[in-house]
Structure 1
Amino acid sequence: MSKTVSDYNFFDPEIIESPFDFYAAARRDAPIHHLPDTNIYFVSRYEDVRKILKDTETFSNEFGAILNEPPKNPEAAAVYASGYETVDTMLTLDPPRHRVYRNLVNKVFSNKRVESMHDYMLQMADQLIDSWIDDGEVDLLTRFCVPLPVWVIADQLGVPREDLELFKKWSDAFASRLSRFADADQELEDARLIVQFQHYFVDMIEQRRKDPQDNIISDLAHARIDDGRELTHPEMLSIVQQVLVAGNETSTSTIAEGVLYLIENPAECDKLRADPSLIPNAVEEILRLATPSCGLWRLVTQDTEVQGVQIPKDALMMVRFASANRDDEHFEDAGKMDVCRHNARDNLSFGQGVHFCLGAQLARKELNVAFEKLLQRTDNWRLTEGKNSLKHWPNLILRGLEELHIDFDKIK
């Protein structure tokens, strides 16, 4: 007898690691599932997720307090007190205020600018592959999946290349804080790294006020909003943080997960090798299956009803993109990888509505370049024996592999 949705605990680390049976049970038994002993309603079906994302009046994005709950460790709280306050900007604001901040960085992620970066990304990918192409084995996560998007977003922000190791540590600290699984020691380390990030970027902002350049930091340092005032340091740090985490953690995870899916589905990989024009659609299929941003919160602003379930004001919705992307009602045989899937681009991995991911076009470009170059220069991918747990970092919001070691053949 198959399990019902009530047999699962969404917050169980084992479910976070392998959630797909739970998602299927939720879609079948209770598409709007009230998680026991909480005020959280779990939304699992494609159409429901899509509608809720578009209704910001009833389902608000102003959930910043959830993301920035005080740590349990008092030492970590003291460290945060030495930094800058947390304020809401793009992700955690509703229209029209949300648009004020988003407009400040829109031009950096415009289609025209992203397209102009194509050759530059190809050079980056080649440079990374050159460093291990003759080895026959590679820690692909740390030597390709991480640095490619980190380099790209760092260059857009204006961060010196020699600081990229710090840049990645800061990004991971923010991801860990989002996870809700950090222990006391990890909370303290996260706090130290996040405050270090704050002071580093405030110094950089002040440098760019005196010496502007063509990057996001300079744009923010010289921006004016409302009645012509400058952005505060907390406002700028909030925007930079969002660009930092969204700009590299998700792309890193999608590249790694995509390679794993192609190893596990060799016939699909063969299709891409035979016809590289399929890569853009394959990227959409990988985004659908991987869904690196698994879901996000919404705050219910008024008593409402969804699928016959009464939702009270001030309840929380966990809008689960990862479940929606595997809904058989929208994607035929949704658990199967199909690089030729006709509606793969319908995936909700970048969200929907006014909060559709700011960097979606940049991410798509990075992913297309990554798979183009990996398939062009390496063949016969295999998981390196004894080096892969295939486990993911425990996180309620983000999903990414802990490691990915592969063996490969060099294409002459």
Structure 2
Amino acid sequence: MTDTTTEAPTGCPAGAGARQPSMLEVLAGTWDTCALFGQLREAAPIMYVAEMDAWILTRYEDVAAVAKDSKRFGSMPADLVGEVPDEVKDQLPHGYAPWIPALVNTNPPEHTRIRRLANHPLTPKSVARREQAVRDAANALIDEFVADGRADLVEKFATPMPLHVIIKFLGLPDEDNQRFRDWTLGMTELFLPSITPERRLELARDQVKFSEYLNDAIAARRKEPGDDAISELVLAQEEGESSLTDLEILGIIGQFVIAGFETSAGGISFSLNMLAQHPEVLARLRDDLSLVPKAVEESLRRLTPARGIVRQVLEDVEFYGQKIPAGSNLFLLVQSANNDPAVFSNPEKFDIDRDPSEMRRSIHFGTGVHLCIGAPLARLDMKVALETAITRLPNLRLVPDQQIRVQPGMIFHRPVSLEFEWDV
């Protein structure tokens, strides 16, 4: 295999003399990336994308190996969303909340300590205690539009659902839902390299308010803990470990919010879309809700909401004859890895009966020391969302002939809208 260094995938059409589209432009116009990433795995197992200043790995064996190797490949870089604008640096001395060193952007042994403490509110027992609150959120959202017989379920259900859950999880007031949503969507927008300096400054000012809001919540829990995740982080103790500082808690919450929102919003959207395209599977799930977790996992494998993860190269390495120097960024294209036929049989097929040994290899929540700590909550979100939608929206189906667009950006994969109909 010859090594490939390019800014756009091989096989993307371009007329004579036409500008080759960038990777971000290609992805913005591609709803189902399975065929596109198949080309990359074959022709470009390693490629450089200038927009990200990162080398992209596309094959499962490489993606999984790097994700598991914390000695040669470090955590996500601290500057993944760019520098804080000068105008607000004094107000954000440690950077944006999600990029304060915490979970995704620290290495062992620092990461090991923080993860052990941050896991307290995310144990299976802690998450299970919150299931009724998740169900209440799902039903309240559907109550608002069930009588209409038609809705954009991305806007009305998949997007607000995880935000409602996160707010409950953190113990924040319901009346703060709208501004919390604005702050969260603003955080995801900061990942876009194409936003103007004016828009970046506006978003940065919003992130000042977000950090102040969370710092106030942390201070309140220090004085009077409650039954919520922030309180559990404040009270977290592990033998021989120092407790979490306020700054570490702020970073953990910021990473909870952005990862929890994007994974669940994209995952719920993809799951509903897949089930609507496979009515025979939807009917099976409606008759037997115990199959819903299988549909959740297969949806996450087939169209992984987090396209990939970034790792820093800690020492010089080589892939397919291409030397990658220490200090470079690697983008592990998880969405491609999860559709690699070297690992998954007939990977383009949505198959809830896929062999469990195959499904155990799916890395939709990552792998290695940075395995997603919020996976139990995301799984609960998606399970409850699907159960509620398929039982309360009879004969759920996609509105035909709609153009499906995805949110711009490289890391997260989420549809802009999905119109559904159902019987009333």
TM-score normalised by L of structure 1: 0.89
8 Å Cα contact 1:34/1:40 also seen in 2: yes
2:36 aligned residue: 22
Deviating more after overlay: 242-251 vs 184-193: 184-193
Whichever residue aligns with residue 159 of structure 2, its letter is V
Matched position secondary structure for 1:64? coil
* Distance across 2 between alignment mates of 1:251 and 1:337: 19
Structure 1 pair 303–367 and aligned structure 2 pair: CA distance change class (3 A): same
* Distance across 2 between alignment mates of 1:232 and 1:115: 27
Report whether the alignment pairs 1:151 with 2:160: no
What is the deviation of 1:326? Answer: 1.1
Matches within 5 A, 1:226-245: 231-245=244-258
Deviating more after overlay: 196-205 vs 82-91: 82-91
* Distance across 1 between alignment mates of 2:36 and 2:379: 29
Structure 1 pair 374–175 and aligned structure 2 pair: CA distance change class (3 A): same
Matched position secondary structure for 1:178? coil
Matched position secondary structure for 1:217? helix
Matches within 5 A, 1:318-337: 318-337=331-350
* Pick aligned residue for 1:46 from 33, 56, 60: 60
What is the deviation of 1:228? Answer: 8.0
* Distance across 2 between alignment mates of 1:84 and 1:233: 14
What is the deviation of 1:344? Answer: 3.4
8 Å Cα contact 1:281/1:345 also seen in 2: no
Report whether the alignment pairs 1:293 with 2:269: no
Task: Point out 4+ residue stretches in structure 1 off by more than 6 angstroms.
Answer: 224-230
Once the two structures are superposed, what CA deviation does each residue of 1:145-195 show, in whole Å capped at 9, x if it has no partner? 123222222122121111011111111111111232323343123112111
RMSD: 2.7
Report whether the alignment pairs 1:365 with 2:380: yes
Deviating more after overlay: 371-380 vs 291-300: 371-380
2:412 aligned residue: 398
2:23 aligned residue: 11
* Distance across 2 between alignment mates of 1:52 and 1:365: 28
Report whether the alignment pairs 1:55 with 2:64: no
2:328 aligned residue: 315
* Distance across 1 between alignment mates of 2:29 and 2:354: 26
Matched position secondary structure for 2:23? coil
Matched position secondary structure for 2:395? strand
* Distance across 2 between alignment mates of 1:223 and 1:323: 37
Matched position secondary structure for 2:309? strand
* Distance across 1 between alignment mates of 2:239 and 2:196: 41
* Distance across 2 between alignment mates of 1:325 and 1:62: 20
What is the deviation of 1:96? Answer: 1.0
Whichever residue aligns with residue 219 of structure 2, its letter is E
8 Å Cα contact 1:15/1:22 also seen in 2: no
The size of the alignment, in residue pairs, is: 402
Matched position secondary structure for 2:396? strand
Matched position secondary structure for 2:311? strand
8 Å Cα contact 1:350/1:357 also seen in 2: yes
1:138 aligned residue: 151
* Distance across 1 between alignment mates of 2:93 and 2:206: 13
Report whether the alignment pairs 1:108 with 2:121: yes
8 Å Cα contact 1:84/1:198 also seen in 2: no
Matched position secondary structure for 2:151? strand
Matched position secondary structure for 2:263? helix
8 Å Cα contact 1:181/1:395 also seen in 2: no
Whichever residue aligns with residue 172 of structure 2, its letter is V
* Distance across 1 between alignment mates of 2:199 and 2:270: 25
Report whether the alignment pairs 1:81 with 2:90: yes
2:223 aligned residue: 210
Structure 1 pair 224–126 and aligned structure 2 pair: CA distance change class (3 A): closer
Once the two structures are superposed, what CA deviation does each residue of 1:186-215 show, in whole Å capped at 9, x if it has no partner? 312311211110111112222222222122
Matched position secondary structure for 1:379? coil
What is the deviation of 1:7? Answer: 4.9
* Distance across 1 between alignment mates of 2:202 and 2:128: 38
Structure 1 pair 152–300 and aligned structure 2 pair: CA distance change class (3 A): same
**Unaligned 5+ runs, structure 1:** none
2:389 aligned residue: 374
* Distance across 2 between alignment mates of 1:267 and 1:228: 52
Whichever residue aligns with residue 25 of structure 2, its letter is P
Structure 1 pair 232–277 and aligned structure 2 pair: CA distance change class (3 A): closer
Structure 1 pair 133–331 and aligned structure 2 pair: CA distance change class (3 A): same
2:5 aligned residue: none
8 Å Cα contact 1:293/1:397 also seen in 2: yes
Matched position secondary structure for 2:119? helix
* Distance across 2 between alignment mates of 1:62 and 1:135: 44
Once the two structures are superposed, what CA deviation does each residue of 1:197-241 show, in whole Å capped at 9, x if it has no partner? 011111222222222212232344456799987755443321110
* Distance across 2 between alignment mates of 1:368 and 1:316: 34
Report whether the alignment pairs 1:190 with 2:200: no
Structure 1 pair 323–89 and aligned structure 2 pair: CA distance change class (3 A): same
* Distance across 1 between alignment mates of 2:86 and 2:246: 20
* Distance across 2 between alignment mates of 1:36 and 1:141: 31
